[in-house]
Amino acid sequence: MKIQVELPAELKEDINFLKNQISNLQENFTPKKPKTYLSRAEVSKMLNVSYVTLNKWNRSGKLKAVGIGGRVLYRQEDIDNAIVEL
């Protein structure tokens, strides 16, 4: 024995809307990449500059350092943005 239940038209529309939204999310979703942090030693070696130069750049705003747990770190994104193509 089967029982069939007819859903109201408004509920069917809502279900179809949600299905479309989920489908769009599946097609267009791109997860955020976690931020990469580099130490002063890594940045100094990467850019072939001294710690003094890194400190000068930090004070002048060319390259922004962040402090986490007493450590001085640089965001990879900030380093990439600071590099200018000539």
CB 73 within 8 Å of CB 38 = yes
Task: Report how far Cα 57 is from the mean position of its chain's Cα atoms.
Answer: 24
Residue 61 resides in a domain: yes
Higher pLDDT, 34 or 46: 46
Q: How far apart are CA 74 and CA 58, in angstroms?
A: 10
Q: How far apart are CA 73 and CA 82, in angstroms?
A: 15
Residue 71 resides in a domain: yes
Residue 21 resides in a domain: no
Joined tokens for residue 7: 């859903």
pLDDT for residue 85? 66
Residue 30 resides in a domain: no
pLDDT for residue 51? 94
Q: How far apart are CA 74 and CA 53, in angstroms?
A: 14
The predicted model scores a pTM of 0.60
Domain that holds residue 64: 37-82
Residue 5 resides in a domain: no
Helix (H, G, I), strand (E, B) or coil at 54: helix
pLDDT tens figures, 59-81: 999 999 999 888 999 999 999 88
CB 63 within 8 Å of CB 74 = yes
